[in-house]
Structure 1
């Protein structure tokens, strides 16, 4: 047995998590008292005694109680309800909430415990399927003294205890961890769809990822690059940005060629500068304006748009368009790209230039800022302000943009028309 042998442990809820915690405690030599609404819940749990008749009975026989229920309603009932833990708690008891609930509920339960002079910890856990093997990480929020006092019991069922901060910090960290998990699943889904459309099976993709990135180090690389102040150094962000945007542009080009929808890739490309914490920084230094302006053009009109300008001979007007219009106006944080697009669409509509309308509307479609229905609505709205003749040109430009954006379209894109 590890830790302080005088501390008595309790577990309320003997499902996969709670049952596994109870088994790990029993194996460590600290057999817990337990409660579950199912009288036979401990039958298949090695070394775990039969449940008592109420959470209150657990509180009377415990110093640290893990609450492993399903949701907020159950947590409230088990902790503060009739025959709940607090109904029989003595000062000094520590309740450790393992259920994933919203932060306001965590704070509500912590305050309820404080009124009874009972300590409280919120504790996210992962991975749940390793609970019975002493294989989980305890992600803890609460006062340092409370964590220290409960630590011997926590160590007996968790392979690692991470104290993240005050009450609520453990739950917030667990929720954030879940975002990484499920967000990564969506990323894998899109990547597999893209590879599959090119004739590459999921096993081959997995083989490449496993070999090139053992233990998934790249997944958390962005977090590890943050400095002591918690921010990503601007020099790091600027160094990564060109490679990140180039690779994402390649993914979007391939997806377009294969007809594979990749909304997460699109969103990631659109938010690349913000991901690297460059989105709201002051405008770049003068010697960086041109590259920033070219990048901004692609953010406005879609990947590859600035290629037409890169391939042309130096031109003072085009240089000013890049360095001033896009780098210093479109690149300002005061309005979103979508806001500026709608303003520009209105001005372009007044000129009656269908080809300009197509470029502006096409950028809105590529960046998922505007739907086809919204563009059609904009044409009707602008007709009353710019006149029906100009609206006819606006309608032609919007229709051409929609046609070029449609899957499988053979219509030339605005990028191609520039060339």
Structure 2
């Protein structure tokens, strides 16, 4: 290409994205050379010339070639196959991979191009349905000089080009962006299920979200709170954590009351500390262990459970129960209270002590960690492992806990239905 000459564009793969890229390039005054395994794929694409016979032919007539094929196997064939781009490539050609493939494949293809003195860029794109309208964002990884050289062509079909870093950075950013998309879809699914279970039309939920956050800033607020070093300031995390855990606890409780599974809520709650980059709180000092243990008992078995142990005479066994078992074991951050409750329930089931089972099951119901149906399922599961005789006591304890946490009117209604 001589000085002042316009970079020539090529497109291999004329699916939704490739066809859109070709149309946008033609509209910008840079009609591309194209190829697709379907001989009529270019027919009807506004301003796009009739396609050539192979990727090799595209390489002969292009300076920058966008590869928009379906998967890694097709990318390997198009770039390095018998009639692939590299078979007719000359030094100075730039290959831009638009297909979403694994990072090892990106690096493999980059090395293949480097061996032929061809520049390589990995380029995630979004949103694909805007490809024909010059409306996509190009998420690019590769050397800066290669990006700069390809920039006139990239600008011909992308409304914004974001250079994310070296080879692989574009694909990694695209994959991370997809996590936000699909993760938020799951969050919306659970939120809508909670609303629907409470008798609320999910359309009203959408109306609230649209009105309160019309620009969608809340979705990425956590990213924007990070400091220049890429870390979330600990003071910010500690300020947010109580509100986050309170709100997620409320969502868990609502799900339990409505019988709506909310696994993403439970994971978000369990991982709140790591999400906000808040390290474990230092363990309580020796003289604080007793009070912390009493607080932990109330957290495990419900408010007021520890009241009978306050202001009592010293007792070695009870002192160790409060100061060691609850303060230093139940209080550890490695497992959630719910996790520890299920482990304890399994051990207690082997003792055949219905009164112990009732205490453990009651705490799970009070805290909204386990539903009545989940506890009944646990009885059946434990019966297989602990024996049917022990399971009789487990069933009795669970049944007593459920009865104690069932409003009388509901219990009477359930009994009436059973009749």
CA distance in 2, matches of 1:396, 1:356: 11
Where 2:65 maps in the other structure, the secondary structure is strand
CA distance in 1, matches of 2:96, 2:336: 44
Task: Please say which of residues 315-324 and 348-357 is displaced more in the overlay.
Answer: 315-324
* Partner residue in 1 for 2:282: 283
Task: Please say which of residues 263-272 and 283-292 is displaced more in the overlay.
Answer: 283-292
* Partner residue in 2 for 1:173: 173
CA contact (8 A) 1:270 1:367 kept: no
Task: Please say which of residues 322-331 and 220-229 is displaced more in the overlay.
Answer: 322-331
Count the aligned residue pairs: 396
- Note the 1:141-290 alignment, pairs <5 A: 141-278=141-278, 280-283=279-282
CA distance in 2, matches of 1:401, 1:101: 52
Q: What TM-score do you get using the length of structure 1 for normalisation?
A: 0.80
1:70 aligns with 2:70: yes
Where 1:366 maps in the other structure, the secondary structure is coil
Residues 1:62 and 1:400: Cα distance change in structure 2 (over 3 Å): farther
Aligned-CA RMSD value: 3.8
* Partner residue in 2 for 1:112: 112
Cα deviation, residue 138, structure 1: 0.8
CA distance in 2, matches of 1:96, 1:400: 66
Where 2:30 maps in the other structure, the secondary structure is coil
Cα deviation, residue 297, structure 1: 7.0
CA distance in 1, matches of 2:118, 2:376: 58
Where 2:90 maps in the other structure, the secondary structure is coil
CA distance in 1, matches of 2:398, 2:337: 18
* Partner residue in 1 for 2:369: 366
CA contact (8 A) 2:379 2:394 kept: no
Cα deviation, residue 267, structure 1: 2.5
5+ residue gaps, structure 2: 313-317, 412-419
CA distance in 1, matches of 2:231, 2:291: 23
CA contact (8 A) 1:283 1:328 kept: no
Residues 1:117 and 1:350: Cα distance change in structure 2 (over 3 Å): same
Residues 1:66 and 1:371: Cα distance change in structure 2 (over 3 Å): farther
5+ residue gaps, structure 1: 412-419
Cα deviation, residue 111, structure 1: 1.8
Deviations 1:203-248 (A, max 9, x none): 2211111010111110111111122222222222221121112212
Q: What TM-score do you get using the length of structure 2 for normalisation?
A: 0.80
Residues 1:257 and 1:372: Cα distance change in structure 2 (over 3 Å): closer
- Note the 1:308-387 alignment, pairs <5 A: 308=304, 315=310, 325-326=325-326, 328-332=328-332, 340-341=340-341, 344-345=344-345, 348=348, 352-360=352-360, 363=364, 366=369, 376-378=380-382, 380-382=384-386
- Note the 1:3-42 alignment, pairs <5 A: 6-42=6-42
CA contact (8 A) 1:283 1:332 kept: no
Deviations 1:365-387 (A, max 9, x none): 9379x99767655455456xxxx
CA contact (8 A) 1:39 1:50 kept: no
Deviations 1:138-157 (A, max 9, x none): 11112222222212211221
CA distance in 1, matches of 2:160, 2:236: 31
Cα deviation, residue 363, structure 1: 4.4
